Structure 1
Amino acid sequence: MDASDLDFRTRTRSGCIPPELASRLLERGRADVVEAQAGRGQWFCALAWAKTLGDRGREGDAWEVLAPYVATGWWTAVVGAAGLLEGWGRVDEAIDITRKRMEAGHPRALDAYMRLLARHGRAGEAFDLLVPHVDDWVIATALVDVAHVAGRDEEAAALLAGLMRADHRCVGPWCCRGLDPDTALSLLATIRERQGRIDEAVALLRRRQIVSVNGRDRLADLLARHGRVEELRAYAARDGHGEAVRQLAELLEKGGDVDGAIAVYGPADGPAARDPNLAYDLAQLLTRHGRGEEAIAVMRAGADAHPGDDWILHALSELCLGQGRPAEGLAHLDALRVRRGGEEEWELYRVRLPLIAACGGVDEAVERARAHPEGETWYAAEDIARLFAGVGRTEEAVAVLQGHDRRIGHDLAHHLVDLGRVEEALDVLLHTSPRHRS
């Protein structure tokens, strides 16, 4: 086995049996196939088979399955094997294989190794080893987590404070290499919060330049966790704090104040009217509380206000289906088609298909899909096959997909396995050798 080959297969899913299919094979009693492929360089089969053996108490056999992958030095295999070893109680072995990759200089191994040490009574040692590398944001994050276990929060706080430059303002997301000021502030706030110094944590987070990371606002999260409703309400009222609006609504809903949660999203010209993501959140809130008609009206208004955002149409379609009102979804799409000059590219037309199927049946939806100018393309075949599969007509779904190239091989393989045609499924997935990057 070769680490670069394994990495390419798993990242691109080329010449690869994906994890969901490995699980599917086990569920359908084809452990023999998973075991065989585990010995032929199929990592996801190897991991699934090793887990199965471990659950049966055959840990030695499970390790034999993983050992050739770990021997390549491939980081994904090391992480997977270490996780299983740790779960089996073989902690020293998990630490050993992770340490070897750290000593070899793998960029992600130090973080994993130190966290492993901290979980097993060696947090102080881990903290000391992390300190020299604290100017890296990944290591700084690990340091803060390990400090809590080691009882060394104040030392970690002092390190972070010492790295922050009071006079520096980032000029862009790539201004600072390593530990940027916003991350340092957030990590220091984490320490202060768990020490019970909430006011200090709030003050630190108010100094950030970038308020939203991965769709979450740390300050809004903090205020919500500690029930500081009025502060959160004031924060949410500022322009550009959509995540805070969402957090406030979630907090009020959990507290039983549904009307108050709905009111957070504002009147006709409020936050939900300006931000389609908030409109979607409001619609979901209304739906959860049996107000489906209002939810549809919110999403319809959002679709009208943001005609270039086709994802809203998908959301509106799903909402209409869920409320048993597919004809309303079709009516909106008809009106939009008129405004767009009567044309619908497949990416928009496909939104219609589940609605048509709900109104007139799958056969009508398939017939109309095939009549579309793009109805014979491979990407249309995916949607048509999904219609058939959704009503249990798997053979017809397979027939549709088999007429197209291998780009849709994973969908085809799943259906073939469901039909018990495992060898055909493997042929679809493993027909080509993975290519290496130049």
Structure 2
Amino acid sequence: MVELQAGRGEWFCALAWARSLGEQGRQSDALEVLAPYLATGWWTAVEAAAELLEGWGRADEAIEITRVRMEARHPMALESYTRLLARHGRAEEAFTLLRPHISEPSLAAALVDVAAPAGRDEEAAALLAARTEHRCSDFPWCCRGLDRDTAIGLLATIRERQGRIDEAIALLRPDGNTLLNRKQLAALLARHGRLDELRAAAASDDSGHAVRQLARLLEELGDVEGAIATYRQPDRSGAHNPNQAVELAQLLARHGRGTEAIDVMRLQADAHNGDDWILHILADLYLDQSRPEDGLAHLDALADARGGEEYWDLYWMRLPLIAARDGVDEAIAQARAHPEGMTSYAAPHMAELLASTGRTEEAVAVLRPHALANRHDLAEYLIDLGRIEEAVAVLHQDKPRPPQPSTTTAWSEEPPF
């Protein structure tokens, strides 16, 4: 089926089939599958073919097809081409090509990466240092996107790579109020085990980056209590951040302290009643701790505090809890009784519940009336049942054929499928 669809303009089938043929040693056949897509000049196909060729040990061919697109001035080709060169012993050439493009962020990052194998770290550092003096007045227009903070971050990357850790830290610290540099600084401190400095950064960190890195490092070092305490500092400005609360709950759950994890998320749910992502995490924790009754009771209390209003986007997370307490059939019955229970967006939640207990045929039956809105879910269950042709028909229903892209241009962003 994949082979058949590959020849009918289905790009993802073509790519999967080409990869499969390559794994079987049929490289020529694989390239023939991709040839119609490559002929359009579509960059995605070029990039995929280059990746396959490189993986097969045919780097020169990968470089060549990428070079053609680069010379046609495709905006993404230069980075791919130079990175390919650097991976295959031509880093000097790559650096020379990238050097004039230091003002473009993605190409500046590529320049930093190829500078090491090219032995031109100091030259790259000098180019970036010149950019660190620039103060943006109209970002991104005045600096074409490579602002001072990005340049500092890239320069710090070079210094860290050279083993000049103190210099890298000093570069990132003066701009500590910049989110990008704070994130990089926290990761750098963690990588080099600079615990005291990381603790100092976490103490005044409202972005969460230093706190997260410190907690992760302490956990890796076996200091679980220290990691937990990092999130629980009451004098930290981000101590009540919902995202950090979730990280704390996950940390507690990983170490068998599920009840404490639930307590953390209950506080968040009470403070942010109606935030579905928080309630979803709380419901999952109750389920993981085999406490569906308590979970449903808490969700009921929160719903009452909202005046009893329970739209489907908040209601559906109850279903696994109801199923754990009363069985799947009761959960499905309650779901169908909900005012939105017969909608197309409610069907996937019921289908997932049925399929998770081995009742895939019933999951298919639930999705059938809403097939157009849920074609991917329905097709997946049909595939699980071995009904492949039926799944393909579902995916193709009411799917118009796209116009054929022009082949007269040097390159195209229009997918040939």
Equivalent residue for 2:60?
92
How far apart, in 2, do the equivalents of 1:231 and 1:339 lie? Answer: 44
Extract unaligned runs of 5+ from structure 1: 1-32
- Match of 1:375, SS state, is coil
Equivalent residue for 1:150?
118
Equivalent residue for 2:356?
390
In the alignment, does 2:363 pair up with 1:375? Answer: no
In the alignment, does 2:163 pair up with 1:196? Answer: yes
1:110-147: per-residue Cα shift (whole Å, max 9, x none)? 00000000000000000000001110000000000000
What one-letter code is carried by the residue in structure 2 that aligns with 1:58? R
Equivalent residue for 2:378?
412
> 2:70, 2:77 within 8 Å by CA — same for their partners in 1?
yes
How far apart, in 2, do the equivalents of 1:429 and 1:98 lie? Answer: 33
1:234-274: per-residue Cα shift (whole Å, max 9, x none)? 11111423111111011111111111111111256756751
> 1:236, 1:244 within 8 Å by CA — same for their partners in 2?
yes
Equivalent residue for 2:81?
113
> 2:94, 2:114 within 8 Å by CA — same for their partners in 1?
yes
1:251-308: per-residue Cα shift (whole Å, max 9, x none)? 1111111111111112567567510111111111111111111111011111112224
What one-letter code is carried by the residue in structure 1 that aligns with 2:3? E
Equivalent residue for 2:326?
360
How far apart, in 1, do the equivalents of 2:142 and 2:176 lie? Answer: 12
1:35-79: per-residue Cα shift (whole Å, max 9, x none)? 111111111111111111111111111111111111111111111
Cα–Cα, structure 1 residues 226 and 128, in superposed 2: closer, same or farther, change >3 Å?
A: same
Equivalent residue for 2:368?
402
How far apart, in 2, do the equivalents of 1:322 and 1:93 lie? Answer: 51
In the alignment, does 2:291 pair up with 1:350? Answer: no
Residue from 52, 55, 65 that aligns with 2:23: 55
- Match of 2:373, SS state, is helix
How far apart, in 2, do the equivalents of 1:169 and 1:103 lie? Answer: 32
Extract unaligned runs of 5+ from structure 2: 404-413
Equivalent residue for 1:101?
69
Cα–Cα, structure 1 residues 208 and 76, in superposed 2: closer, same or farther, change >3 Å?
A: farther
Equivalent residue for 1:312?
278
Cα–Cα, structure 1 residues 205 and 297, in superposed 2: closer, same or farther, change >3 Å?
A: same
- TM-score, normalised to structure 1, is 0.88
Deviation at 1:102, TM superposition (A): 0.9
In the alignment, does 2:105 pair up with 1:130? Answer: no
Map 1:222-261; keep pairs closer than 5 Å: 222-261=188-227
1:207-242: per-residue Cα shift (whole Å, max 9, x none)? 33664359x811100001111111111111114231
- TM-score, normalised to structure 2, is 0.93
- Match of 1:388, SS state, is helix
What one-letter code is carried by the residue in structure 1 that aligns with 2:265? M
Cα–Cα, structure 1 residues 170 and 232, in superposed 2: closer, same or farther, change >3 Å?
A: farther
- Match of 1:232, SS state, is helix
How far apart, in 2, do the equivalents of 1:65 and 1:297 lie? Answer: 55
What one-letter code is carried by the residue in structure 1 that aligns with 2:218? L
Cα–Cα, structure 1 residues 391 and 212, in superposed 2: closer, same or farther, change >3 Å?
A: farther
In the alignment, does 2:176 pair up with 1:205? Answer: no
How far apart, in 2, do the equivalents of 1:273 and 1:193 lie? Answer: 30
Identical-residue share of aligned pairs (%):
66
Deviation at 1:165, TM superposition (A): 2.4
- Match of 1:420, SS state, is coil
1:316-345: per-residue Cα shift (whole Å, max 9, x none)? 111111111122211110000110001100
- Match of 1:382, SS state, is helix
- Match of 1:406, SS state, is coil
1:391-414: per-residue Cα shift (whole Å, max 9, x none)? 111111111111114121001111
Q: Alignment RMSD, CA only?
A: 1.9
Equivalent residue for 2:409?
none
How far apart, in 2, do the equivalents of 1:434 and 1:310 lie? Answer: 38
Equivalent residue for 1:177?
144
How far apart, in 1, do the equivalents of 2:70 and 2:305 lie? Answer: 59
